[in-house]
């Protein structure tokens, strides 16, 4: 019996075949119509598709002008940048009141935190200014570090341990344990990191390892790496820097596309912060004002000389010291607003005042025994702001006077060296400017119709009766001096006058515009090996006769001394007898400046 055949496959529906054929016919027709239409719209385009087709004049005239599509250039999105050095050291308006408002709005508890400074409680907003302003650190950097490490800016109710190790430096010896200690460490580490930018010492990480800083780090990144590395493991630096920047921008807003532009010279002019001239006991160190105290390195003065004698004081000094003492008063050097007054947590617990004069200029007054102003108070030039003292780390009473421009310490006496200013060349440095309003720079130009006669000018200066020596400091780069003869005691005139010819220094002007002139004499600060005379008498010959001006050379070194204002005709003459009461003491003869007050028309 045969098996039944397998069932046949189902027949393909005929209607499907019909649909396919219809689609092909319709599609072909549509394509033909489109092609013909295209030929009618753009025959030249069709004709010129071939590689050898060349349009003729007729076809070019009949070709419609192509439609021009305007291409709008797109502005490239600037690459994100990292914080610049200028932003690490300075923020113009972020003082105590704005800091406290920011902290209260941010949600954390720092607005209500107080810290102990020299046994007294201070609001955190004030204490952080007392720490950061002196060391040229923006308070925003410290707040961003507190948020990055411990969330203290935005999170309330955090445990005490967060404050104990607020900036993440868990040194095994507990040296930096405590909220204030953590901040002091960070502020000074940022300060010293700026000092070290040329050498870039290795970074020390939390695991105890040391490694050279990546060469790709910017200066600002290296400075921040110094406070981040001790809190992270080796190999985590790059993400830590990025995370810190993200926290900074979350707190204070995105950075501008461009870093802060270079600043023009400061427009603020200063008056002396004391009522009279006091001896200088320490210069500003252009070798690097980082408080290093490396005696062998000396101190580079604004004359461009590196001095190792203690008469110029210590290496790394960041301001000027004047030998005033109580009850001498410290005066505001210019109009401004007090942004700090109290005990500065500067590692010395110093009584200090800081004044903001606008235009990015601030002045600092340190080691006071008392202060007469309060934060937020407006002051005028010459207002009393405090009493000179020896608080903090001072060794003997004096006024430490500092100037900052955009947060960086500068020398208000400028730079008179013949070479480049090393502080201006330093990666963390800045250019210094002569900022005193009442006297000109000893190395600056002389304005018409002022007249300057220097001791290096043989046609207008001479010394008779003694041989002069010279020192490489002073107007024109040098100054003359002599060991004075013993002469009459100007304070004890009953003593016998010595017999013999008097040695004299003479300055004379042959041609000048008639009028009233303020007469200034420059007394250099230099070492002659002699004790300077405490009393010399200048003889000024003018229209009305001869006047005498007495000067104590021991107290006025490094300054222009005002000898008075007189009326002169077309000629002038000043004599300096080279004598003092004791004899053998140093007498300086440098430059005289006739500064026009009201000159007559030529």
Nearest to 292 by CA among 197, 187, 195: 195
Residue with tokens 């955190």: 124
Residue 291 tokens, joined: 């408080």
Integer Cα distance of 487 and 151 in angstroms: 74
Strands (E), 296-455: 299-300, 306-307, 320-322, 329-331, 336-344, 350-356, 361-366, 368-371, 378-379, 384-388, 399-405, 408-410, 451-453
Q: Give the tens place of pLDDT for each residue, 311-351.
A: 998 899 999 999 999 999 999 999 999 999 999 988 889 99
Q: Higher model confidence: residue 563 or residue 37?
A: 563
Confidence band for 44, pLDDT divided at 50, 70 and 90: very low
Length of the chain: 602
Confidence band for 497, pLDDT divided at 50, 70 and 90: low
Whether residue 380 is predicted with pLDDT greater than 80 in this model: the reply is: yes
Residue 408 tokens, joined: 């960086």
Confidence band for 11, pLDDT divided at 50, 70 and 90: very low
**CA 277 and chain centroid, separation:** 26
Kindly give the pairing relationship between strand 210-211 and strand 203-204: antiparallel
Q: How far apart are the first and last CA of the chain?
A: 149
pLDDT given at position 583: 87
Please, are residues 416 and 303 in contact by the beta-carbon 8 Å criterion? yes
DSSP tag of 32:
H
Integer Cα distance of 599 and 602 in angstroms: 9
Say which range, 187-191, 295-299, 316-320, has the weakest mean pLDDT: 295-299
Q: Give the tens place of pLDDT for each residue, 552-596.
A: 999 999 999 999 999 999 999 999 999 988 889 999 999 999 999
Confidence band for 499, pLDDT divided at 50, 70 and 90: low
> Which own/partner contact pairs does 230-237 have at CB distance under 8 Å and 24+ positions apart?
230/168, 230/169, 230/171, 230/204, 230/205, 230/206, 231/149, 231/167, 231/168, 231/169, 231/170, 231/206, 232/205, 232/206, 233/205, 233/206, 233/207, 234/205, 234/207, 234/209, 237/203
Integer Cα distance of 157 and 240 in angstroms: 25
Provide the whole-model pTM: 0.84
Nearest to 476 by CA among 570, 554, 590, 567: 590
Q: Give the tens place of pLDDT for each residue, 234-279.
A: 999 999 999 999 999 999 999 999 999 888 999 999 999 999 999 9
Q: Give the tens place of pLDDT for each residue, 405-461.
A: 999 999 999 999 999 999 999 999 999 999 999 999 999 999 999 999 999 999 999
- Going from the C-alpha of 425 to that of each of 260, 288, 428, 467, 486, the distances in angstroms are 19, 10, 8, 40, 47
Integer Cα distance of 557 and 559 in angstroms: 5
State whether residue 400 is helix, strand or coil: strand
* Side-chain-side CA neighbours of residue 270 (13 Å): 30
Q: Give the tens place of pLDDT for each residue, 52-82.
A: 343 443 444 444 555 555 566 665 666 689 9
Say which range, 115-119, 398-402, 500-504, 565-569, has the weakest mean pLDDT: 500-504
Residue 455 buriedness (CB in 10 A; 0-12 / 13-18 / 19+): buried
Q: Higher model confidence: residue 44 or residue 532?
A: 532
Residue 395 buriedness (CB in 10 A; 0-12 / 13-18 / 19+): exposed
Average pLDDT value over all residues in the chain = 88
């Amino acid at each position: 019996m045969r098996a039944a055949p397998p069932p046949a496959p189902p027949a393909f529906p005929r209607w499907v075949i019909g649909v396919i054929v219809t689609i092909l016919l319709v599609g072909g027709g549509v394509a033909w119509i489109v092609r013909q239409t295209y030929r009618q719209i753009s025959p030249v385009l069709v004709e010129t598709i071939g590689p050898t087709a060349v349009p003729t004049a007729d076809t070019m005239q009949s070709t419609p002008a192509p439609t021009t599509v305007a291409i709008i250039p797109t502005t490239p999105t600037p690459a994100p940048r990292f914080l610049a050095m200028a932003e690490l050291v300075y923020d113009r308006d972020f003082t105590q009141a704005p800091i406290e408002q920011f902290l209260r709005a941010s949600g954390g508890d720092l607005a209500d935190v107080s810290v102990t400074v020299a046994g007294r409680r201070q609001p955190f907003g004030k204490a952080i200014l007392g720490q950061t302003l002196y060391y040229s650190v923006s308070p925003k950097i410290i707040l961003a570090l507190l948020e990055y490490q411990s969330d203290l800016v935005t999170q309330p109710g955090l445990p005490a341990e967060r404050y104990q190790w607020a900036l993440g430096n868990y040194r095994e010896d507990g040296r930096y344990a405590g909220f204030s200690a953590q901040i002091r460490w960070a502020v000074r580490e940022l300060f010293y990191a700026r000092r070290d930018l040329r050498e870039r010492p290795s970074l020390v990480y939390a695991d105890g390892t040391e490694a050279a800083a990546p060469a790709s780090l910017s200066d600002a990144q290296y400075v921040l790496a110094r406070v981040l590395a001790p809190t992270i493991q080796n190999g985590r630096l790059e993400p830590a820097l990025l995370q810190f920047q993200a926290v900074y921008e979350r707190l204070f807003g995105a950075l501008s596309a461009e870093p802060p532009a270079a600043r023009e010279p400061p427009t603020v002019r200063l008056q002396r912060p004391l009522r009279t001239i006091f001896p200088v006991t320490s210069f500003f160190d252009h070798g690097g004002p980082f408080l290093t105290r490396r005696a062998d390195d000396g101190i580079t003065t604004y004359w461009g000389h590196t001095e190792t004698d203690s008469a110029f004081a210590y290496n790394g000094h960041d301001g000027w010291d004047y030998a005033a003492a109580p009850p001498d008063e410290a005066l505001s050097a210019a109009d401004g607003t007090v942004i700090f007054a109290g005990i500065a947590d500067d590692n010395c617990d110093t009584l200090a005042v800081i004044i903001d004069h606008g235009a990015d200029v601030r002045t600092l007054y340190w080691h006071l025994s008392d202060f007469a102003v309060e934060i937020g108070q407006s002051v005028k030039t010459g207002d009393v702001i405090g009493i000179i003292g020896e608080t903090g780390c001072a060794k003997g009473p004096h006024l430490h006077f500092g100037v900052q421009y955009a947060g960086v310490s500068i020398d208000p006496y400028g730079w008179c060296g013949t070479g480049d200013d090393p502080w201006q060349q330093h990666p963390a440095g800045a250019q210094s400017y002569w900022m005193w309003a009442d006297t000109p720079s000893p190395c600056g130009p002389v304005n018409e119709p002022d007249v300057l006669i220097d001791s290096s000018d043989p046609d207008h200066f001479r010394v008779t009766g003694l041989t002069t020596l010279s020192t490489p400091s002073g107007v024109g780069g040098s100054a003359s001096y002599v060991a004075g003869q013993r002469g009459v005691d100007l304070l004890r005139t009953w003593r016998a006058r010595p017999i013999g010819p008097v040695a004299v220094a003479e300055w004379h002007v042959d041609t000048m515009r008639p009028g009233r002139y303020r007469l200034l004499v420059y007394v250099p600060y230099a070492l002659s090996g002699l004790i300077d005379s405490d009393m010399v008498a200048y003889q000024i010959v003018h229209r009305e006769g001869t006047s005498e001006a007495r000067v104590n050379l021991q107290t006025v070194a490094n300054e222009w001394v005002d000898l008075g204002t007189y009326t002169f005709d077309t000629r002038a003459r000043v004599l300096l007898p080279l004598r003092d009461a004791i004899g053998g003491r140093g007498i300086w003869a440098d430059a005289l400046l006739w500064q026009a007050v009201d000159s007559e028309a030529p």
